[in-house]
Amino acid sequence: MRLKGYFFMILATFLLLSNAKAQDAEQLALDYLKQADIIYKRQKEAIEVAKELYIKAAETDPSNVYANWMAGKLYTETIDKDRSTDYFIQVKALNPKYRFDIDYHIGRGYHYGLDFEKALEYYTSYKKKYLAQSNYRGKDKTILKRVERRMLECRNGQKIIQQPTQYSIEIVKGDINSPWPDYAPVLNESQDVMLFTSRRLEGNTSEDVDEDNFYFEDIFISRKQGDTWSKAENIGPPINTVYHEASISLSSDGNRLYIYKDSGGGDIYYSDYDGAAWSKPKFLTDKINSSSYSEGSVSETSSPDVIFYTSNRPGGTGGYDIYMCIKDKRGKWYKSKSIGDAINTKFNEDSPFLAHDGKTLYFSSEGHLGYGGFDIFKSVYDSLTETWSKPENLGYPVNTPDDEIYFNASKDGRSGYFASVREGGVGFTDIFKIKYHGAGGPLGKDIIMAQIQARNATATTNGAETASPAAAEIVDAGSTKFEAHETQLMAMAHRIFFNNAQSAIQGKHQAELDSIITMLNKYEVLNIDIAGFASSDGNPRYNLELSQKRAIIVLNYFVEKGIDESRIVARGFGSIKGPEGLTEESRRAEVRIISESRE
């Protein structure tokens, strides 16, 4: 199927309808719907245009149930999925019987917006309806098993969100992402060469689309130039063909690329780079690739005799599982086995990545303590007990209720790249960079927990500038003697206020922050704990993002003034309630001076 040129006709139609002021609202809404249906069914790459038309139709005629349903539905298929909620609520208000599972979809909207309490309310409502009408056989029925999993994800999410992390996420700079799906970034050890998979039109080997109306997968390459990436180019033959080829792993030296090809149900190939060209892809081995099942991801290890991969072959724990294969004494691949139930679940596991330390495994899973879609987890191998640690969810903002997958970590473990569908993206799935900020070792877990307890005690007080007894204990630096004004600075929660929706530091706070910097330069035993907050305006997801941005803005101020990032903890805590009528009191970051050790 060839669709070139159709996109321009879509835009022309959209502009024509937008200017049709003479039409009555009901007819104009129907015209919007007609064009939106044509676009949605024929061309996935223009789904954003279709979405805008459905939204226009719903805004033009709010009483049109179908327009509201489709506007909400397309939000759930693109970015900003939480914005579907209002449209689904309108559907229910207009016609409660329009969809048997409408409460489930409203719950999903709240789920995507991190409003887990409301999501559980609607999931529970749908579950009760499902059980009361168990004989219902309509196609608009979401199975109970899926609903119960969503409810568990919400309960997991409520716990995860209460444990803020020190990560920040940004879209990859440069000409990498496109309006089409871009994913599976793989990088060399120095992280200056990136290969990734794209289903874009521009530069694609094939002009045709697959059955899902997306172009076939091709592998693209980009090189880092300073802080940005060069324009991505199709890596070309002999790697790419008119069918599916996807990047799944790159050796640390950047000279061996592992490729997914859709032959035999999905198999793993590899290509070697000789400094001038890539070799023709070779079939990895039938000890890894099966004849009729799919092997879709792979990760090299520090040993050339061991490799990790994923497969949906029979005999696993469930869905796609992570396996390992080892070589015999002759250097031939000969034996595969599951890496065990500590990692694999009855759900899908995918995209394993063994870190450069040779023992930390990052992977994505729809199971474990996830809170929606694929979440990224890490587990550490203990060579003495030959066991994997309990997988740890990387938390928010790395993971969301949508899919986070294909994580690739830097050698020092403080940054990495992964694919996700989220706000700030360009199209469907995009490639993002993750960065770990602040302290990674000097603060013990007991001190960090004390900081959290102290913050909870003072944040709910909303007025007291002095720290709680727990916080006062944190600033006790043992035998170090401080001057009176320094002790006062250490006992305070330094509040940095922001304007509505703002994350820039106001000039009036710089002198206070500079006084903290003076202390940190004088005493090496002192560190900084930064907590970002937002008012209760907006939904929980937005407030978490804004609070995280505020914490990072303050962290960057200290770093730019010469404070080592390893001395800083910076986290966003979402929304808090300020004194009645004073919501601006909640729009803040709090800075505390803490000690490295206590007696």
| First vs last C-alpha separation in the chain | 72
DSSP 209: B
Chain mean pLDDT for the chain: 86
Provide the pLDDT for residue 184.
Answer: 97
Share of the chain above pLDDT 70, in %: 86
Beta bridge pairs of residue 435 = 168, 415
Q: Which of 63-72, 172-181, 372-381 has the lowest mean pLDDT?
A: 172-181
**Would you say residue 353 has pLDDT above 60?**
yes
Could you tell me which CATH class the domain 445-595 is placed in? alpha beta
According to DSSP, the β-strands at 568-575 and 182-187 are unpaired
- The string of pLDDT tens digits covering residues 99-134 is 999 999 999 999 999 999 999 999 999 999 999 999
pLDDT higher at 483 or 416: 416
- The string of pLDDT tens digits covering residues 65-92 is 999 999 999 999 988 999 999 999 999 9
**Would you say residue 464 has pLDDT above 50?**
no
**Would you say residue 472 has pLDDT above 50?**
no
**Portions of the chain given CATH number 1.25.40.10:** 6-161
Provide the pLDDT for residue 455.
Answer: 43
**Would you say residue 10 has pLDDT above 50?**
yes
The sign of the dihedral angle between the CA atoms of 462, 465, 468, 473 is positive
Amino acid in the structure at residue 150:
R
Global confidence as pTM: 0.85
Gap between the Cα atoms of 196 and 410, Å rounded: 16
Structure tokens that stand for 144 in this block: 């109970």
**Residue whose C-alpha is closest to residue 174's, from 199, 192, 200, 201:** 192
Provide the pLDDT for residue 444.
Answer: 34
Beta bridge pairs of residue 486 = none
Provide the pLDDT for residue 461.
Answer: 38
- Residue 63: helix, strand or coil by DSSP? coil
CATH value of 167-436 in 2.60.120.10, 2.120.10.30, 3.30.420.40, 3.90.1150.10: 2.120.10.30
Band of pLDDT at residue 471, cut at 50, 70 and 90: very low
Beta bridge pairs of residue 170 = 433
Place of tokens 């799906």: 181
- The string of pLDDT tens digits covering residues 239-286 is 999 999 999 999 999 999 999 999 888 999 999 999 999 999 999 999
**Would you say residue 465 has pLDDT above 80?**
no
- The string of pLDDT tens digits covering residues 186-199 is 999 999 999 999 99
Name residues whose C-beta falls within 8 Å of residue 474's C-beta, 6 or more positions apart in sequence.
447, 450, 451, 454, 467, 592, 594, 595, 598
Gap between the Cα atoms of 417 and 545, Å rounded: 19
Provide the pLDDT for residue 310.
Answer: 98
Provide the pLDDT for residue 35.
Answer: 85
Provide the pLDDT for residue 11.
Answer: 53
Gap between the Cα atoms of 296 and 102, Å rounded: 35
Provide the pLDDT for residue 577.
Answer: 60
Q: Which of 37-51, 167-181, 240-254 has the lowest mean pLDDT?
A: 37-51
Band of pLDDT at residue 437, cut at 50, 70 and 90: confident
In angstroms, what CA-CA distances link 6 with 32, 47, 55, 74, 532?
17, 13, 21, 20, 46
- The string of pLDDT tens digits covering residues 89-98 is 999 999 999 9
β strands within 114-205, DSSP E: 167-171, 182-187, 193-198
Provide the pLDDT for residue 502.
Answer: 65
Gap between the Cα atoms of 31 and 17, Å rounded: 8
Gap between the Cα atoms of 426 and 176, Å rounded: 10
Provide the pLDDT for residue 553.
Answer: 92
Provide the pLDDT for residue 213.
Answer: 79
Gap between the Cα atoms of 157 and 393, Å rounded: 10
**Portions of the chain given CATH number 3.30.1330.60:** 445-595
pLDDT higher at 477 or 500: 500
DSSP 82: G
Provide the pLDDT for residue 84.
Answer: 98
Please give the distance of CA 413 from its chain centroid, rounded to a whole number.
Answer: 17
In angstroms, what CA-CA distances link 473 with 30, 217, 450, 595?
66, 57, 9, 9
Provide the pLDDT for residue 115.
Answer: 95
**Residue whose C-alpha is closest to residue 361's, from 289, 284, 433, 307:** 307
According to DSSP, the β-strands at 349-354 and 375-382 are unpaired
Band of pLDDT at residue 222, cut at 50, 70 and 90: very high
**The CATH homologous superfamily of the domain defined by 6-161:** Tetratricopeptide repeat domain (1.25.40.10)
Structure tokens that stand for 301 in this block: 């290890």
Element housing 69 (H / E): helix 65-77
**Would you say residue 462 has pLDDT above 60?**
no
**Portions of the chain given CATH number 2.120.10.30:** 167-436
Place of tokens 């327009």: 67
- The string of pLDDT tens digits covering residues 522-575 is 998 899 899 999 888 778 888 888 899 999 999 999 999 999 988 888 889 888
Provide the pLDDT for residue 432.
Answer: 97
Mean pLDDT, residues 397-411 taken together: 95
Band of pLDDT at residue 460, cut at 50, 70 and 90: very low
